[in-house]
Structure 1
Amino acid sequence: MSTLRLVSAGAGSGKTWRIVQEVVSRVEAGLALDRIAAVTFTEAAASELQDRIRAGLQQRGLTAEAARVERANICTIHRFALTLLRRFPLPAALPPDPMVLEQDEASALFHRALQAALRADGAELDEDTAQLIATLVEKARSLGKDDEDLRREAPLAAAWIASAFSPPLDGATLDATFRAALDEAFDWLDLRAKARVGDDGIRRELRLLRRNMPGDLLDAAIRVLRATKPTKTFSKELPALLPAAEAMALLHPGARGRIDAAVQRLFHLGAAAAKGYGDEKQRRGALDFEEMQRRALGLLTEPDDRYARSVVAELPYIVVDEFQDTSPLQFRLFEVLRSAGAEVCYVGDLKQAIYGFRGADSSLFSALLTWSSESGTPPEVLDRSRRSRPELVRFANELFSRVLPRQGIPFDPLTADNDYTRADAPPSAGAVELLRVPSSHRNGPRIELGADRIRDLLRSGLTVLDRSTRAFRPVRPGDIAVLGRQRSQLSQWAEALRSRGLPVLQESDGLFDTLEIRLARAWLAMLASPRDRSASAMVLLSELYGLRQRTVVALSVEKLSGSPRRALELATSEPERLPLTDFERRALERCDADLRHCRDALRSLPLGEATELVLERVGLRERLALRCDAAQAAQLGANLGWLVAEAHALGGRRDHALELGGATGATLENLLLHLDALSYEKPRQPVALHDDVDAVRLMTLHGAKGLEFPVVLVDLLHTELKVRVPRVDVLRPTDAAALLRPDALRSFTVRCIPETGMPPVDELLRVRLGDLDEELRESLRLLYVGVTRARDHLLVTWPTLAANSSRYLLRDALGPMLPDLPEGRAEGVDARWIDASVRVFTAAEAGPEAQPDAPPPVDLAPWRALVDDPSAPTAAEAPRSTVALLARVTPTELCKVADCPEVLTLARVHHGEHLMARSEGAEVLRVGVPNAYASRLAIERDQVAPSRVGLLVHAAVSKASLLAPSAYDPTDEQLADAVLTQHGQSEHRAALSLLIVDTLVSLRACVNKLRAVAEPAREIPFVLDLRGTTLHGIVDLVVRAGDGLHVIDLKTHPLRSADLPRWAGYYRPQLDAYALALHRLTGMPVLGRHLAIPAAGTLLTLTDPFDPESTYDRLADLADAIARGDRGPSRDCARCGWKSQCSTGHRHLRASPPGATVVRP
């Protein structure tokens, strides 16, 4: 066996430089470049490594070898395995050039196989369970296991789960005990007619159980456990119910049987999906990345080793980068080659092993480091920081030398040796900032303080080193990165930073949910088929053409929505059948010209070029970017660029590969099929890292690995440490020697901890089978990655130690390892802590000095420039830059400008605020309905953003049946659970579910009060033309009564009863817009305009009759005010909720008496 070499490279220590020097020195010594393999784990890293090796060879005068870099074995692990298979295609039973599935294609194919397995089993599993099965199969395949291995491991996995429980008790005894406790609870219901806050959920569940008891008492116990949030009063008055229900879940033989069957079923479904996936790959002659590695390993481990020896003869030297991210299967592949005589060098950093969820196994690198030290050949350690200021290097050394070794992670301190130590660097006092915030489940104080510090740094004149010029310059927004663990949390940072006027680029999920991608897909679908009425309607209603809702409905009825030329012919010959305004006629003429031009391009150009042209033709990016700032416009462009890149990639593939989508040929139809398949994977939006976009970057810590920034804020220490279920774990030998044996893969097993739906069972499995220490190690490695991304300046949010908290945070785990953090002040305090210089900040106390700055005025000129000029030529005749676009406003903006013209400007800057200027209200009629006050107040603003609450509630309302004699529907809980799962809501599910149920009860009462004769229509989109300005919106609910329609707008935020008339006055323009749109769309009278406010238990009705003509004039005047950019204080500055942010209002109040009140919802 050849000598093993290990290189331990800390973050920023010049790891890539060391690899380049190693390769170049080998070439200088006479080893040809094509006899060296340099393997890394991403295409981007491989491309960078190629460039660096080429430059290194050129610097040494090795120009001939530098010219051969593209053909050298400098590639990813997957391409390396494919190269081995191509050397020996016949023994590997493959064609010489096998078809390779990209990750998205493989995922789509596996998804189909999984759905087929579920159908064959008669199962309808939720999305989370399907993802659990996919993860189970993925981790099993990373160990080289197939479907038969999964079936063999099913009973072993069930036995492993059973080992966490105590022996079961007699089922009949447990049933009798629980039944007695349940009867006692039924009696309690009669005695306690009035509910206390917190007991609503269990009272509702007990009523349902009394009305309809399940045949199996275990089901009743599970329902009690799910519904119970025990208060002190509840536990005192019903002391037996919860313990009896928990005993049923933990000790009943029936519960054990269900859990055993569920675990084995997961493994068998995974095996069936893996088998179907493998069969389909074999039928198509395709390989995915894991299959490449498995087959390559099988080839190299043939009994006579002839293939391994042949590879070593051609590749005697192999260097593996990012070794801490290696899977067991990949490790065995390189070890087989080393056994056959290859010299192998592993380069990595155990402290940056953060990809365990992808199948990486850092225990392999740890075992090698241990073995190397014990064998007397310690690894080479790169101990010079080429990245960060000395102050940051010292802080990282002092922090992590105290915490990582205590968790079994070796730490080697670094010494700064870079431009900061060689250049004339300016003073760096306060290079490390610790933002001391209260330890709380609320995110607001922490994020507000961090956003304030970022704003202040940009104002302070802080200088950073520009790597391109090697000179110091003032910091810019694009130099700053905010790093967190979850993307959902980054959205709150984005809101806080934007409210301070800072541009933001955010790493986000939901690429296919963005407006630009949805609209681009609709436009492509309209080009592909005029019969796609849904796509055509979306395009015609959008900013691209701006037709009225009524016109689009008429086009759909006539089956002409995809044929603008025929629509124009009908409008000319029979105008009574299709009446069009002059603007709509011009828009349809432009649409017809665009369709003809784009279809010609699709016939004559390659798919990628044609896709790019058809999106440019309609100005999709330019039109949508007009309502964005520069950073958002860059993200929009990156998203559309991704779609164009997919079209180019599809156009370059062979027909054999395209057959995966069910057809052949690089056509527009196949592009749409391809996009449909990708949508199953829910890809995230590409990061728009454009040098010309100066915006703060918001990224996950995983996404930031391998990057560096002048200024970094790390937001991690508030993360709760807990074992999350469901989960898939890999059980491995604990002995380092066993991990390194040739047959080590056989001793690796996969285990699954499911989510049973029984809270005490889930908690037991979490505690007894989960590894909380590994969760801590993972979090510490993430903290290390975050801290070491900074070059010039570092900020870390630092919660104080929590007292008597049930949540165990990363900060709590660090407490025993570190001294107390010094006290700070709002302006910052310089201190010495852990032998490092730090500056400690705390949040400012509320008061005049803590008031936010007045926002800068918003330039509305771009909005005015959007107004359509009737004399402008059509898009078919005019250059792109002269195509006139539409001004677009929303009903919400009408409310704000009607309230006070200042509010529109303020609300655009302060996105998270929901305040009111007016003191007078509208005349209203109040009708009481069941209220959701307690359930709404249970969800605090810092737990779930109000906009998120509204999204989830509206999603449930759109799916629920609202026309029913009884306000309560037993299926509401299941609907709420499905909605929360569909929207990926994992936190605060119980509180949100209760709010959704209470809201549906309240809305059904509203519908009954209005004497509905049919199920209400929901989420009705509309477009109105207000004297050249288009008003776009969506009506929440439309209730049809006997002689007309009622418009209902649902408000989910908590409003005080005394303020309801003022809020009715505030929302009146919105209700008027909905009523006018509905009247024009249907021609029916609108009988009422209502606000449904479940949190206040009120259906609020405007008492004045609806008049379409006067309403139109009033709304048009408001739209004109927005277009003109009208500004100025209202008469209500003294009571205005915006007064602290409004500089104009401050000036207006100088002569006013003190004592003004703030009106908040």
Structure 2
Amino acid sequence: LADRVILVGDVKQAIYGLRGSDQALVFDTLEELAEGDAVTETLEHNWLSRAPLVDYVNTVFATAFHQSLDPARVVLKPKRDAATEAPAVARWTLAGRGFDDRFAALAAGVADLVASGYPVVDPESKAVRPVRYGDIAVLARTNSRVEGIARALRSRRVPMKMTMRGLLTAPEIGLARACLRCLNDDSDTLAVAEVVALAGGAPPEAWLTDRLTWLADGKEGRDWDGGQPMVRRVRTLREAAASLSPLETVVRVLNDVGIRETVTAWGPDSIKAAQRQRNLDALLDLAVLYEEHCAAQHEAASLTGFLFWLEEPSSPELDLQPVVTSGDAVHVLTYHRAKGLEWPVVVLTDFDDEEMNRLWEPRMAQLEGFDIRAPLSGRAVRWWPDLFRRRTRGVPARHAIEASDEGEECARLSLEEQRRLAYVGMSRARDLLVVAVPAGRLRRGAWLEAFDAPFLLPDGDTLELPHGTTVPTVARDFQAASGLAAAEPFAPRWFEERPPGNFPRTPARPSDAEAVAGATVAEVVAFGERIPVARGDMARVGDGLHAVIAMVLVNPEAPDAEDRAHAILEAHGAAPAIRAEDAVAAARRFLEFVRERFQPDPIRVEYPIAHLLDDGRHAAGRIDVLLETAEGPVILDHKSSPLAESEWPAEALKHSGQLAAYRSAFEAAGRSAATWIHFAVSGGAVRVE
């Protein structure tokens, strides 16, 4: 298909066996190409990390990869200038029996690191500055560990960025769904009870007593609102909701009944409040997806359908809470998602986990010799059903399978992939690499043992590598309760409620504006003779002449200007009333006047504007000519009226409202503009103030 093919990649970062990728196929292909006439070029330098970090990673993985890769393809030469003598590798020992305790200790370590002012090199400015939360990434092996670390950071009030599951079970989404159910079915009193409980914080015994009292008094059950204003606001939307789409309904409910204000007040801090708002925005996104789903399936979209669709989401991705990306926050993600990214500080976790063995997962097997001309031939899918699950000891059949040739080969391949995964994590750091391990002895078969590098964990201020190089290091111990920062008071604020304005909905056109009382003519300039115009439809003449002037202003040196002008006038039905050469002459004398009078740079034609008027109407239009000058913007509006010069001032003042609308749009943007009326047929211009 191509005369030359360039393949770019890093075999040390082949880590997607968990998604079914077959690294053996890649390696076999590369080996075949290398044995042929392919040329292999290896990048020798590392421009990302500090020299001590590069030495550390080189040493660890030259040993770990020695059976599968030539050291020349592993060892890199550092090229980044040394800007700090701070530790390059840190060991954090995390106290605690279970994951939650260790995650809390990890959060304490992150907070301590930022408080210490550890120096990092800013990726943009290259200047040395104290570390920030946004400079730090914490990597874990699984999504569940990522979520646990994120919860610990949030409990510690350390800002963090990650995507967590549980959107549809979040309390703010529960409140929104209850309001939607209440709107959809006035007999759904369970939805009313949920709104009362969530919005007002009423305990079950309180709202249940109120409900029973209401019924005991002989009142209609569906009219009960528990004294909750939010329920009453929802009910006021019922008439309008009948003509709204599901998305429009969700927008109205989220923004008009007080849900956003209520969930913001829940707190307990600004980070969580921001997450709640983003979750509500995600519900809007789900409404969009639902309508797109209905359109694709040729089904009618309805609020009832949307509520049922939320009960059984078609993908786990729909239940992900969005990332709160604003502000300075720690990145928490898996090793796999970290591939291709970099941070000044990277914290690695889960090195105490047992090595993963993909023996019990579907995999590809090469049954025949590899042929690069038919790379997919001679292959089959193999899968050992795991009948033993968590039973790992005292199961002879399991042990026999694991000890078989195929079992040992799977273990070897799994081990190599785990080494590559660790390489991805360690090579993400620019300034500091932190290896976080639990207190005490590591379990047998821990991931850390896969590197065959007993020097990997530092225990002092320096770490001497086997080849004699010394790396500055630090070792710290952290526990969950150490140095917990005091909670900052959370005082949620919200926009003041404003009554809906009774604004006219009809959009305003500047050209329809009435003349402004008190407008004056500041200047009259004549710069040409009247061009001949035959009797006809002056509106068509005006449109055609406008277009010819725009054509000349945009391309003043066009050699075929008159031919283009004739085509333009024909298209506008103005050719019978005005000749092309006369229209071009009128445009060129106008251009000459503009250049001599204003020296503009640039000249813009048909410039769009939009402006919100004081009465609430939306004014939109196009300025015929906008000049950017040293004195500020100049607006010129063409008029095709063939009046004599003596009549220009009175005619120009008739359009003072249109010019005032243009000026007000610029004033709203903080600029002051001069305004002119150009009489294109008569050959003059009038400045109106």
What TM-score bracket applies, with the shorter chain setting the length? 0.5 to 0.7
Distance 2:248 2:433 in 1: 44
Q: TM-score, normalised by structure 1?
A: 0.38
Counterpart for residue 12 of structure 2: 351
What amino acid does structure 1 have at the position aligned with 2:489?
D
What amino acid does structure 2 have at the position aligned with 1:813?
A
Distance 1:797 1:693 in 2: 26
Q: Which string of whole-angstrom CA distances, capped at 9 and with x for unpartnered residues, describes residues 301-330 of structure 1?
A: xxxxxxxxxxxxxxxxxxxxxxxxxxxxxx
Structure 1: 5+ residue stretches without partners: 6-344, 559-566, 867-872, 880-1161
1:478 is aligned to 2:134: yes
1:729 is aligned to 2:394: no
Contact 1:722 1:808 in 2 (8 A): no
Q: TM-score, normalised by structure 2?
A: 0.61
Counterpart for residue 327 of structure 2: 693
Superposition deviation, residue 854 in structure 1: 6.2
1:644 is aligned to 2:644: no
CA 1:650 to 1:449, structure 2 compared with 1: closer, same or farther past 3 Å? closer
Distance 2:259 2:380 in 1: 52
CA 1:408 to 1:610, structure 2 compared with 1: closer, same or farther past 3 Å? farther
Contact 1:713 1:794 in 2 (8 A): yes
Distance 2:277 2:7 in 1: 39
Q: Which string of whole-angstrom CA distances, capped at 9 and with x for unpartnered residues, describes residues 958-991 of structure 1?
A: xxxxxxxxxxxxxxxxxxxxxxxxxxxxxxxxxx
Structure 2: 5+ residue stretches without partners: 502-689
Counterpart for residue 675 of structure 1: 310
Counterpart for residue 36 of structure 2: 375
Counterpart for residue 921 of structure 1: none
Contact 2:165 2:321 in 1 (8 A): no
What amino acid does structure 2 have at the position aligned with 1:517?
I
Superposition deviation, residue 747 in structure 1: 2.0
Counterpart for residue 427 of structure 1: 84
CA 1:618 to 1:706, structure 2 compared with 1: closer, same or farther past 3 Å? farther
CA 1:549 to 1:724, structure 2 compared with 1: closer, same or farther past 3 Å? same
Distance 1:362 1:861 in 2: 54
What amino acid does structure 1 have at the position aligned with 2:91?
L
Superposition deviation, residue 713 in structure 1: 0.3
**Which is bigger in relative contact order (C-alpha 8 A, separation at least 6)?**
2
1:751 is aligned to 2:383: yes
Q: Which string of whole-angstrom CA distances, capped at 9 and with x for unpartnered residues, describes residues 987-1045 of structure 1?
A: xxxxxxxxxxxxxxxxxxxxxxxxxxxxxxxxxxxxxxxxxxxxxxxxxxxxxxxxxxx
Counterpart for residue 119 of structure 2: 463
Identity of aligned residues (%): 28
SS in 2 for 1:742: coil
CA 1:579 to 1:436, structure 2 compared with 1: closer, same or farther past 3 Å? closer
Counterpart for residue 450 of structure 2: 813
- Counterpart of 2:259 (choices 620, 636, 639) is 620
Superposition deviation, residue 809 in structure 1: 0.5
Distance 2:368 2:120 in 1: 46
Contact 2:100 2:152 in 1 (8 A): no
What amino acid does structure 2 have at the position aligned with 1:728?
P
Superposition deviation, residue 403 in structure 1: 1.0
Distance 1:751 1:574 in 2: 66
Superposition deviation, residue 727 in structure 1: 3.0
Distance 1:839 1:746 in 2: 50
Q: Which string of whole-angstrom CA distances, capped at 9 and with x for unpartnered residues, describes residues 495-536 of structure 1?
A: 554565423344433333322333333333333333444434
Higher helix share: 1
Counterpart for residue 262 of structure 1: none
Contact 2:356 2:418 in 1 (8 A): no
Distance 1:551 1:820 in 2: 63
CA 1:801 to 1:597, structure 2 compared with 1: closer, same or farther past 3 Å? closer
Superposition deviation, residue 802 in structure 1: 4.8
- Counterpart of 1:524 (choices 164, 169, 180) is 180
SS in 1 for 2:333: strand
What amino acid does structure 2 have at the position aligned with 1:786?
G
Distance 1:747 1:576 in 2: 70
1:631 is aligned to 2:278: no
Contact 2:343 2:428 in 1 (8 A): yes
Contact 2:187 2:222 in 1 (8 A): no
1:829 is aligned to 2:484: no
CA 1:762 to 1:852, structure 2 compared with 1: closer, same or farther past 3 Å? same
Contact 1:436 1:797 in 2 (8 A): yes
Distance 2:119 2:207 in 1: 56
Counterpart for residue 549 of structure 1: 204
1:540 is aligned to 2:196: yes
Distance 1:694 1:509 in 2: 22
Counterpart for residue 253 of structure 1: none
Superposition deviation, residue 369 in structure 1: 1.6
Contact 1:505 1:631 in 2 (8 A): no
Contact 2:183 2:235 in 1 (8 A): yes
What amino acid does structure 2 have at the position aligned with 1:351?
K
Contact 2:140 2:349 in 1 (8 A): yes
SS in 2 for 1:843: strand
Superposition deviation, residue 671 in structure 1: 2.6
Q: Which string of whole-angstrom CA distances, capped at 9 and with x for unpartnered residues, describes residues 677-732 of structure 1?
A: 42663755245151x33232222212323332222101131111143685333323
Distance 2:373 2:103 in 1: 49
What amino acid does structure 1 have at the position aligned with 2:76?
L
Contact 1:724 1:766 in 2 (8 A): no
Distance 2:341 2:474 in 1: 26
Q: Which string of whole-angstrom CA distances, capped at 9 and with x for unpartnered residues, describes residues 428-458 of structure 1?
A: 42122233579x9855786566444322221
Q: Which string of whole-angstrom CA distances, capped at 9 and with x for unpartnered residues, describes residues 74-133 of structure 1?
A: xxxxxxxxxxxxxxxxxxxxxxxxxxxxxxxxxxxxxxxxxxxxxxxxxxxxxxxxxxxx
1:1131-1146 equivalences in 2 (<5 Å):
none
SS in 1 for 2:59: helix
Superposition deviation, residue 753 in structure 1: 2.0
What amino acid does structure 2 have at the position aligned with 1:711?
V
Contact 1:437 1:843 in 2 (8 A): yes
1:310-389 equivalences in 2 (<5 Å):
345-389=6-50
Contact 1:798 1:811 in 2 (8 A): no
Counterpart for residue 233 of structure 2: 593
Superposition deviation, residue 555 in structure 1: 8.2
Contact 1:598 1:614 in 2 (8 A): no
What amino acid does structure 1 have at the position aligned with 2:75?
P
1:38-117 equivalences in 2 (<5 Å):
none
1:398-477 equivalences in 2 (<5 Å):
398-407=59-68, 411-417=73-79, 420-421=80-81, 426-435=83-92, 443=99, 447=103, 450-477=106-133
1:704 is aligned to 2:338: yes
Distance 2:177 2:100 in 1: 37
